[in-house]
Amino acid sequence: MGTLNFKFELSGYVGVLKIDSNLTPTCSEGFNEALKMSLNLADHVIVNLEKVKEFDLSCLKILCTNYIKSKKVKKLLTPVSKSMSAMKGKLEVAGYCQNICMIPSHMTHGNHDCIWVK
């Protein structure tokens, strides 16, 4: 099983979660746990994905799910990567719509702010 390499730094209410490994299916559980832990500790989590060269659809879904959860508890989750357009492209190829939020409004409490919408 793959290991997720990450580092979390907290400064006041802002945390930076730096991912230092690829987001593969074997790392998905670790990625989910790292996001949850970060959101428990900080009001605004910046997810630094600059070193991620490979990413699996399951990890992109995990990022989306945690983004929605952060909105529900009035926190911010901000992914940062030069590869965001490639990530969005992977979702599009997989059949996800890029013009509207994929999550039903009852799950987002009417907040359709989405990290994947163009």
Q: How many CB atoms lie within 10 A of CB 52?
A: 23
State the number of CA atoms in the 13 A half-sphere of 116 facing the CB.
27
Whole-number Å distance between alpha carbons of 13 and 89: 32
- pLDDT tens, N- to C-terminus, the chain (118 residues): 468 999 999 999 999 999 999 899 999 999 999 999 999 999 999 999 998 888 888 888 898 889 888 988 999 999 888 776 677 777 777 666 556 565 555 555 555 566 666 5
Task: Give the model's pLDDT for residue 105.
Answer: 58
CATH of domain 6-83: 3.30.750.24
Report pLDDT for 15.
97
For residue 102 the two structure tokens come to 């994929």
CA–CA dist 98, 116 (Å, integer): 6
Q: Please report the pLDDT score of residue 39 as a whole number.
A: 97
C-alpha 118/C-alpha 92 separation (Å) is: 11
Strands (E), 1-118: 6-11, 14-19, 44-48, 76-80
Residue 76 forms beta bridges with which residues?
44
- Domains of the chain, by residue range, sit at 6-83
CA angle 18, 63, 29 (to 5 degrees): 80
